[in-house]
Structure 1
Amino acid sequence: MSNKLVYIFSLLILMASCNQENNQKRLAENAKDAKKKKIIFENIQKGWDFYDEPINEATEESIKTWNELRLFMQELHQKPKKTIGAFQQKSDAIAKKVMVLNTSIPELFNKPQIKSRIQVLITKVRLMDMYIHLDNIPDKKVVELVGEINKELATLQRQMDILTEKSKIPVEEGEDEMRRMLLDTARAIPNGPMMPNPSMLPASTRAVINPNDARVE
């Protein structure tokens, strides 16, 4: 009987020892994971630095009427704090705001070069949003994309500035009238089949065609 008690007692000690060892491993892993998440958070927090103000006059003026661009830049201005979850929520909000930029472009900027720059900007923002929501967040890639988004935003604003400056160039005298004349001439060209040039037809056919005959519409 005593041998059984010793065996049971030894087994309980062994199980307790194993549980303690597992708990220590789990605590060590949790501490390691927490330290890793802290480093990721600090890196993203440090690298989360967007150009949230217009870099040129054109953008500053445009955001007064381009409401979607103004809201997008306001979203960039509000930097998250405290947790990685806050950065994930902010990334969601930025992604939603950037998606509507290509559907509400003012007439002055509604040009292919502007649309292409916005599309690239959308792609960069969506990539950043995807990476920051991964279980194992690649913080270096997120920070890298923040920099790329800034570059695309600066390029977009410079392109807007070019279009604004071009719109200020005065139209030369008579240029508008010439454009209207060319447009009216183009509209006046009939869409129906053209009469053949008699000189290019065989002699037998030229004898039949009389240029003074009334034209049948």
Structure 2
Amino acid sequence: MKYKIALFLLLIFMFNSCQNENEKRLEENKKEVKRKEIIFNNINKEWSFIDEPINEISEKNVNDWKEWREFLKELGGKPRKTIGAFQKKSASIAKKAMALNDNIPSQFNQPQIRSRISILITKVKMMDLFIHLQKIPDEKVTFLIGEINKELVSLQRQMDKIVEKSKIPQEEGESDFLRMLDTARAIPNSMPPIDQNLPKVE
């Protein structure tokens, strides 16, 4: 009889502890759902990219530079409903950003443009990395959205500067002068060094 009572008490104790664990698990799940909802709302509120050209030059590039056109198009359109949709969109934006290094128009294939494209790609990839983490740091994602927009403006303004600079007529002899400054075109010193031990003729 004592064994039955002890077994009965043990079963009641186990049942209560299981119930407590289930309640704790349910409470944790509710907190996790609430946390994810806050993250989603924060990202959803800030997800807005400059997907339209800001000047004539950038607008012309939309027609002439396929990779630029596709990148701006990918920036447009906002994901809906789930954080997974934002993750998918972010991965797609990162892929299109990487393609900006391909087929840069010759007029813009300059260090100033390439460096701005590299910075833009880095920030897009960072955003993509953060949004795919298990615990998404939403403040970092939203900060990077703003940074990406700044880089987009900087890149388009640099394109505009290059085009405006190319419209300025060169003065007579300026192209020759610029060629002389180009160290890659300099005539190499092919004369052998003078041996200091040779007798000098005076």
DSSP 3-state at the match of 2:150 = helix
How many Å separate the matches in 2 of 1:105 and 1:88?
28
Task: Give the aligned partner of residue 207 of structure 1.
Answer: none
SS at match of 1:72: helix
Q: Which residue of 2 aligns with 1:96?
A: 95
Alpha-carbon deviations, 1:167-217, whole Å to 9, x = none?
223455x569x749x78xxx9x898659xxxxxx835xxxxxxxxxxxxxx
- Asked whether 1:12 is paired with 2:11, we answer yes
Which residue of the partner structure matches residue 110 of structure 1? 109
Matched, 1:25 2:24: yes
Larger Rg: 1
TM-score in terms of structure 2 length = 0.85
Percent identical residues: 56
Code of the residue aligned with 1:59 in structure 2: it is S
Shift, 1:4, TM fit: 2.4
> Where do 5+ consecutive residues of structure 2 fail to align?
193-199
Q: List structure 1 runs of 4+ shifted beyond 4 angstroms.
A: 189-194
C-alpha separation in 1, matches of 2:150 and 2:10: 65
* Distance of aligned partners of 1:13 and 1:43 in 2 relative to their CA distance in 1, 3 Å threshold: same
Query: How many angstroms apart in 1 are the aligned matches of 2:154 and 2:62?
Result: 16
Q: Tell me, in whole angstroms, the C-alpha distance in 1 between the residues paired with 2:104 and 2:37.
A: 40
Q: Where do residues 92-171 of structure 1 align in structure 2 (5 Å cutoff)?
A: 92-171=91-170
1:112 partner amino acid: P
Summarize the alignment of residues 157-196 of structure 1 with structure 2, pairs less than 5 Å apart.
157-171=156-170, 179=176
In 1, the alpha carbon distance for the partners of 2:132 and 2:114 equals 27
Deviation at 1:139, TM superposition (A): 0.2
Unaligned runs of 5+ in 1: 195-200, 204-217
Shift of residue 78, structure 1, vs aligned partner: 2.0
Paired position in structure 1 for 2:64: 65
Compute the RMSD of aligned alpha carbons. 2.4
Post-superposition CA distance 1:104-146 (Å, at most 9, x none): 2101111110011111111111111111111111000000000
The 3-state SS of whatever aligns with 1:82 is coil
Residue 55 (1) aligns with residue 81 (2): no
Question: What TM-score comes out, normalization by structure 1 length?
Answer: 0.79
Distance 2:63 2:131 in 1: 31
Deviation at 1:9, TM superposition (A): 1.8
Q: Distance in 2 between matches of 1:150 and 1:175?
A: 41
Letter in 2 for 1:143: T
Once the two structures are TM-superposed, the CA of residue 58 in structure 1 deviates from its matched residue by: 0.8
Q: Which residue does 1:212 correspond to in 2?
A: none
In 2, Cα distance between equivalents of 1:11 and 1:104: 74
